[in-house]
Amino acid sequence: MKKLVSAWFRIPFWQRVLGAFVLGAVAGWLVGEPAGPWFQPLGTLYVNLIKMIATPLVFFAVINAVAALHGQKSMAVLGGKTFLWFAITAALAVGVGLGVAALLRPGEGVGQLMASESFKPKDVPGPVQVLLDVVPTNPFAALANGKILQVIFFAGLLGFALVKLGEKTARLRELVREASDAMIQVTRFVLELTPLGTFGLIAALVGTYGFERLLPLGKLVLALYVACALHIVFVYGGLLLTHGLNPLRFFRGAAPGMQVAFVSASSFASMPVALRSVTHNLGVNKDYAAFAVPLGASIKMDGCGAIYPAIASLFVAQYFNLDLSASQYFIILLASVLGSFGTAGVPGTAVVMATVVLSSAGLPLEGLGYLLAIDRILDMMRTLTNVTGQMLVPVLVAREEGLLDTAVYNRASTAVALEENAVKAD
């Protein structure tokens, strides 16, 4: 048994996850609809475990990060550069989405679609309400309900308080650091179950939905996947090159976070893996990453908040045979970039963002109802793009601010689980 376990861990992490993905797809296809109730519990168990560790991991990591970054780099500078790169990459993502949708024209030739009966336009909170919602009325409720932005806000205040009190809180700061280390270790344990969770999620997805549901809207699925792939490879890759970094090394190190994002379709569930990938595989300073990655998981949505609303807008315009003006294109760009920050923490970000953009551009909201049948398929690639961007920006800012260990980056390990001190490329 020991030899079997050792052999399992000798297989590179990404290969274990990829193998589970393929086996899950085959199992779901062979079993059919019963694959849902048979295999979904495995995926649900894994996602629940990831969500279990996410909030305490962020809470202790942010407190520790604020205290540790004090006196090293200005939090204002780091935060400002992080937000700036969030906005720049979001604007580029909208451009890619519009370009691909204009070229492939996914809204033409799809026939008369039936809108989903369950579709109701989302109520989008105003900007003032969004800002107010960042401040928790009850920090313990925020922790219990997984309100990440509220957790970050409270943890940041607590971290500043510990720094302000100086030596009076030295023992408490040490306790927080130890608690953060303990949560990182728990994260490694949970990540070892990623192949099992991947198998369950993919088997249930393929068995429940099948491949036939993709056919009526195949061009839309193709457009989204192509746009996301182009954005990841050329935009993200180009930004890495301009910073003197090898894109292949980045994608190798970021692979675990990207894999979990694709199968879970949840930025929140992927966040612990992304954080571990950014620090352990890519060499970003742990204290800065503890601030940037959770923040990105809440507001950095290139897939859901930029590419998808852009493609959905052109899909709706093409389906209803509407010509968009130059001002409408500009509104789509502006609403997508600003709206992705404004809808932070709102459930169903992709639908909310598409609602914001369609409303701003004066396009019929009923068009979104056609897309819900395939939303789960779209969400996988959207989330992969989200999480890749959430890992990219900390790498860029860390490179600019001298917080990137280039030796670790150039090794670009793909191991994010138990082997804390593994240094060889696998």
For residue 421, what are the CA distances in angstroms to 3, 135, 281, 285, 388? 21, 38, 11, 16, 24
Decide if 253 contacts 414 (C-beta within 8 A): yes
Provide the CB-side half-sphere exposure for 20 (13 A, CA). Answer: 27
pLDDT lower than 50: segments of the chain: 115, 345, 420-426
pTM: 0.76
Taken in order of first residue, the domains within the chain and their CATH numbers are 8-411 (1.10.3860.10)
Which of helix, strand or coil describes residue 404? strand
Burial 341-366 (b: 16+ CB within 10 A, else e): bbbbbbeebbbbbbbbbbbbbebeee
How far is the C-alpha of 242 from the C-alpha of 239, rounded, in Å? Answer: 5
How far is the C-alpha of 410 from the C-alpha of 211, rounded, in Å? Answer: 39
For residue 146, what are the CA distances in angstroms to 16, 65, 137, 274, 347? 29, 19, 14, 17, 12
pLDDT at position 416, please?
59
Tell me, what amino acid is at 53? I
Indicate if the alpha-carbon torsion angle 210, 97, 347, 282 is positive or negative. Answer: positive
| Torsion angle defined by CA atoms of residues 269, 136, 335 and 124, in that order, rounded to the nearest 10 degrees | 90
pLDDT at position 385, please?
94
